[in-house]
Structure 1
Amino acid sequence: MAKTRREFERALEAAKSASTGQLLIRAARLFNERAVARGRTLRGLDLRPAHTAVFPHLSLEGTRMTTLAEKMGITKQAVGQIVAELERAEVLCRVPDPSDGRAKLVRFTAAGYRAVLDGMGVLREIENEFGAELGEALMARLKRDLTKLLAAFEGAAS
Structure 2
Amino acid sequence: MTERTEGGGRGDAPDAPGYELPLLLFAGFRSLIDQLHIELARQGHPDVRPVHGFAMQAIGRDGATAVTLGRRLGVSKQAAGKTVDRLEALGYAVRTDDPTDARRKLIRLTPHGFDALARSAAIFDRLRDEWSETLGRDRVQAMESDLRAVTPPQAFRLDAAGWLGG
Quote the RMSD (CA, aligned, Å). 2.4
- Residue 63 of structure 1 aligns to a residue whose secondary structure is coil
Contact 1:65/1:105, CA 8 A, preserved across alignment: yes
Contact 1:45/1:89, CA 8 A, preserved across alignment: no
- Residue 19 of structure 2 aligns to a residue whose secondary structure is helix
User: Residue 13 of structure 2 corresponds to which residue in structure 1?
Assistant: none
CA deviation profile, 1:71-125 (whole Å, cap 9, x unmatched): 2122222221211111122111111111211111112111211221111111111
User: Residue 16 of structure 1 corresponds to which residue in structure 2?
Assistant: 19
Contact 2:70/2:77, CA 8 A, preserved across alignment: yes
TM superposition score normalised by structure 2: 0.73
User: Residue 9 of structure 1 corresponds to which residue in structure 2?
Assistant: none
User: Residue 87 of structure 2 corresponds to which residue in structure 1?
Assistant: 86
**Bigger RCO (CA 8 Å, 6+ sep):** 2
With over 3 angstroms needed to count, the CA separation of the structure-2 counterparts of 1:145 and 1:34, relative to structure 1, is: same
Q: How do residues 3-152 of structure 1 correspond to structure 2 at under 5 angstroms?
A: 14-17=17-20, 19=21, 21-150=22-151, 152=152
Task: Give the distance between the partners of 2:18 and 2:149, measured in 1 at CA.
Answer: 25
Contact 2:63/2:108, CA 8 A, preserved across alignment: yes
Question: Unaligned stretches of 5+ in structure 2?
Answer: 1-15, 156-166
Q: In structure 2, what residue type is equivalent to 1:66?
A: V
The structural deviation recorded for 1:31 is 2.0
Q: In structure 2, what residue type is equivalent to 1:33?
A: D
Q: Which shifted more, 62-71 or 41-50?
A: 41-50
Q: In structure 2, what residue type is equivalent to 1:52?
A: G
The structural deviation recorded for 1:57 is 1.3
Q: In structure 1, what residue type is equivalent to 2:34?
A: E
TM superposition score normalised by structure 1: 0.76
State the number of aligned residues: 141
Task: Give the distance between the partners of 1:30 and 1:94, measured in 2 at CA.
Answer: 33
Question: Unaligned stretches of 5+ in structure 1?
Answer: 1-12
With over 3 angstroms needed to count, the CA separation of the structure-2 counterparts of 1:27 and 1:75, relative to structure 1, is: same
